[in-house]
Structure 1
Amino acid sequence: MKTVNLMDPGLLTDPYRGFAQLREEAPVLRASFPGQDTPIWLVTRYDDVKSVLSDHRFVNDPGNVPGAEVTDMREKLTQARGVPPEYARYLTDGILDLDGDDHLRLRRLVSRAFTARRVTELRPRVEEISAELLDALPTDRVVDLVEEYAYPLPITVICELVGIPEADRAQWRVWGARMTTMEPGALAEPLVGVVEYIRDLIPRRRAEPADDLLTGLIRAHDEDGDRFTDTELITMVLTLVLAGHETTAHLIGNGAAALLTHPDQLARLRAEPSLVPRAVHELMRWCGPVHGTRMRYAAEDVEVGGTVVRRGEPVMALIVSANGDPRRFGDPDRLDIAREPDSRREVHVGFGHGLHYCLGAALARQEGEVAFSGLLSRFPRLRLAVAPEKLERQPLPMSWRLASLPVLLDG
């Protein structure tokens, strides 16, 4: 069996075609991950991806694999990226990496902030932020829609929800961008900055409580520190803010580029704005920013797609190939804004599946709906300022991000 190089230029520049080819070769493949010498399994097909993501025999924490010496891919990755050992736990000991009751314990602390009802109550504020950003966009020059709209909208929303002071939000944008780079050693400085910032913010918010999620988390910590530790508090804030704006920003950027390069779909969406919720689902399927899940580890020998994954072996479920699997989606390469059923429960796996289904999915969908609705209604002559083939992407494995999205708004 061949080993897939996830840093292969073909996969970085055209992951949709590249992973589609791999999916048709086999449902499960070996791969090498950047900075790792331990091979991983890639799961490529829709049904198998959903199965892995909902199977309790696959765990996120390698420490939960019984009776086996397991290579901790997270530890190796943080070492390869130059993270000081005392800060590595803030990337590995949070809600994204816990299993079972520990995961549910942390999820319950914040889940009420992301219920459908709470997200619906937030919508007027999200629309207000969107309108303010659109009002500020200049119509007499080329605008980078990623930098001037796609990022500011979700980072403002999540920072208000969590309780990050307005004066500090620009720095979070810088930290988030630096933490996603693959440059050796580049992760350490922003991670240290984020952790120390949160560590300083906690006592300030404890002294001056507010109507925000951070105040609630501090209260939970102070009332039961044995069940919600200092590290978990800091990691929760870090995860919520970074995950709460990075992926949504690139969903908006990728989605806007997709619509601008598919004029038939753009025209239909303008003519039928009621399709916007379904369009957001389709854009998440067709050009979602996350292409692979966090690593899972087999807690016992498990057969997946005809291949036995041995106990302790790491597995990555490929969202990008699952969402393009013709076994589940008819003509999957075609962008169709009316494809997804008009319901809350999506068919695609862009937000994951199972226990670790994205906590903020409802908020991300709403932000996408508001972002596209506002942008398209405000600027009926919106168009790309460069040829589609000139759009630059960030060369990150398992991710699809525009470096910029130059557009003209008027004239």
Structure 2
Amino acid sequence: MSTTTEPGAARPGGEFSLTDPELLTDPYGTVARIRERGAAVRARFMDGSLIWLFTRDAEVRTVLNDPRFVVDPASVPGHRAPNTRVDVMRAMGITEDMIPYLTEGMLDRDAPDHTRLRKLVSRAFTVRRVSELRPRVEEITEGLLDALPAHAEDGVVDLVEHFAYPLPITVICEMVGVPEEDRPLWLEWSHALFSMRPEEIEPTMWAMVDHIRGMIERRRAAPSDDLLDALIRVQDDDGDRLSETELITMVFTLVIAGHETTAHLIGNGTAALLTHPDQMALLRGDPGLLPAAVHELQRWCGPILMTRLRYAAEDLELGGVRLSAGEPVQAMLVGANRDPRHFSDPERLDLMRRPPGCGEQHVGFGHGAHYCLGAALARQEAEVAFGALLRRHPDLELGVAEQDLEWQPVPTMRRLVRLPVRI
């Protein structure tokens, strides 16, 4: 007699797998069920290795903020941590020459290297600098909305392709210094990387590395005045502060991270508003709600479901379990952001939500030392995008039934393949 297993339930070995289909089709419900099994749940990573999964707000914040958890397995004393991410890359066929470009960036380092790399670019993303960019963000947004009708077929247009993606990639490419004629290439590369098809990742990465090297060579010959120039000057003046590999990886990280997540915050958020007409009506009636609305949309349907793996740097206890030094752990942002221990009625989208306390109450942009460097820019772009879209298209509606929206089957992110809307 055959049996079925409830989504989110333990498998026969007692562990949940991050490759289980239900995590792709219903990440919110699946993680909610896992969250109620316990503060710490044994799980299988993408390569089948065992990890600890944390899905509740308190434990997720501890994993992200406590220095006893590190992102680089080499930071664990005594080399007691498995390099799980590298093992996955090797299993996917990524060559040894490519691995450093995927593992030596700012996102993969702990202090002091993380601090050193972040400091090199952090001034470009301060609230003041981002505020100065707002007129340009508004100009780009209006131009994209002007062009939207030309992309429509029978009044329906894909908002992901023609609005959600072009806005943030244009902004970050201008900041970094990627020439306009090269930006379609970056969009293609981004799609290829996040497709999670192993056969595409290595050739895509080499194409990006070669392209960035070319950008650096041309810029050394003809300097400009953007973030890439500033990084080149640092590398030329003192290679100990920024190696050539780190320079290339920094450009890659800034451009990809600087548009992918924002694009899908805009896409996911627009879909959420269109399927919650009462909330969309609130926002139309009071544009002053936009800052709070962006936070609530990032909490409720933000694109990042989980963080990079962390490793316990020493023996410790969290969530009622003992962790040995070197054990890998996974913080599930999607679980923390809907944790009823932290939010009242967390499954409800509520643009009027005003959680108690100061600061961000969600972890959609992360938490701790690795908090999203571009969070202020992402919030601003989303505010401008939602505000202008609702103002310019008062009759905006979905171009397909809600159940026909197509989500990309990627376990780490919640991403629409396309968002057909009728304008």
- Say yes or no: does 1:149 pair with 2:163: yes
- Say yes or no: does 1:298 pair with 2:312: yes
Superposition deviation, residue 111 in structure 1: 0.2
- Say yes or no: does 1:166 pair with 2:195: no
Superposition deviation, residue 9 in structure 1: 1.5
Counterpart for residue 13 of structure 1:
25
CA distance, structure 2, for counterparts of residue 198 and residue 83 of structure 1? 19
Superposition deviation, residue 272 in structure 1: 0.6
Superposition deviation, residue 343 in structure 1: 9.9
Q: Deviation per CA, 1:322-347, whole angstroms, max 9, x where unpaired?
A: 00000000000000012146998311
Superposition deviation, residue 81 in structure 1: 2.5
CA distance, structure 2, for counterparts of residue 292 and residue 278 of structure 1? 23
Query: Percent same amino acid among aligned pairs?
Result: 59
CA distance, structure 2, for counterparts of residue 56 and residue 155 of structure 1? 33
Counterpart for residue 4 of structure 2:
none
Counterpart for residue 52 of structure 1:
63
Q: Structure 1 counterpart of 2:230, which letter?
A: G
CA distance, structure 1, for counterparts of residue 136 and residue 358 of structure 2? 21
Q: Deviation per CA, 1:169-215, whole angstroms, max 9, x where unpaired?
A: 00000000100122232211111111110011101111111121000
8 A contact 1:302–1:308 mirrored in 2: yes
Alignment of 1:332-347 (within 5 A): 332-340=346-354, 345-347=359-361
Counterpart for residue 227 of structure 2:
213
Counterpart for residue 92 of structure 1:
103
8 A contact 1:49–1:318 mirrored in 2: yes
Q: Structure 2 counterpart of 1:369, which letter?
A: E
Moved more, 337-346 or 348-357: 337-346
8 A contact 2:73–2:79 mirrored in 1: no
Moved more, 107-116 or 223-232: 223-232
Q: Structure 2 counterpart of 1:398, which letter?
A: T
CA distance, structure 2, for counterparts of residue 85 and residue 103 of structure 1? 23
- Say yes or no: does 1:115 pair with 2:105: no
Counterpart for residue 63 of structure 1:
74
Superposition deviation, residue 142 in structure 1: 1.2
Q: Structure 2 counterpart of 1:128, which letter?
A: E
Q: 1:382 aligns with which of 393, 396, 400?
A: 396
| Superposed CA RMSD | 1.3
Counterpart for residue 331 of structure 2:
317
TM-score normalized with structure 2 length: 0.94
Q: Deviation per CA, 1:292-337, whole angstroms, max 9, x where unpaired?
A: 0101111111211101111101111000000000000000000001
Q: 1:127 aligns with which of 129, 138, 147?
A: 138
Q: Deviation per CA, 1:228-249, whole angstroms, max 9, x where unpaired?
A: 1001000000000000000000
CA distance, structure 2, for counterparts of residue 75 and residue 256 of structure 1? 36
Q: What is the DSSP-based 3-state SS (H/G/I as helix, E as strand, rest coil) of the residue aligned with 1:303? A: strand
Q: 1:25 aligns with which of 33, 37, 49?
A: 37
Superposition deviation, residue 74 in structure 1: 1.7
Counterpart for residue 285 of structure 2:
271
Describe the shift of the 1:277–1:341 C-alpha distance in structure 2 as closer, same or farther (beyond 3 A): farther
- Say yes or no: does 1:75 pair with 2:83: no
Q: What is the DSSP-based 3-state SS (H/G/I as helix, E as strand, rest coil) of the residue aligned with 1:112? A: helix
CA distance, structure 1, for counterparts of residue 348 and residue 368 of structure 2? 27
- Say yes or no: does 1:330 pair with 2:344: yes
Q: What is the DSSP-based 3-state SS (H/G/I as helix, E as strand, rest coil) of the residue aligned with 1:96? A: helix
CA distance, structure 2, for counterparts of residue 170 and residue 83 of structure 1? 25
Counterpart for residue 363 of structure 1:
377
Count of paired positions: 408
Q: Structure 1 counterpart of 2:21, which letter?
A: P
Q: Structure 1 counterpart of 2:307, which letter?
A: T
Which runs of no fewer than 5 residues in structure 1 stay unpaired?
none
Q: What is the DSSP-based 3-state SS (H/G/I as helix, E as strand, rest coil) of the residue aligned with 1:122? A: helix
Q: Deviation per CA, 1:71-121, whole angstroms, max 9, x where unpaired?
A: 101211221222221111111001001111111101110000000000000
Which runs of no fewer than 5 residues in structure 2 stay unpaired?
1-9
CA distance, structure 2, for counterparts of residue 76 and residue 89 of structure 1? 13
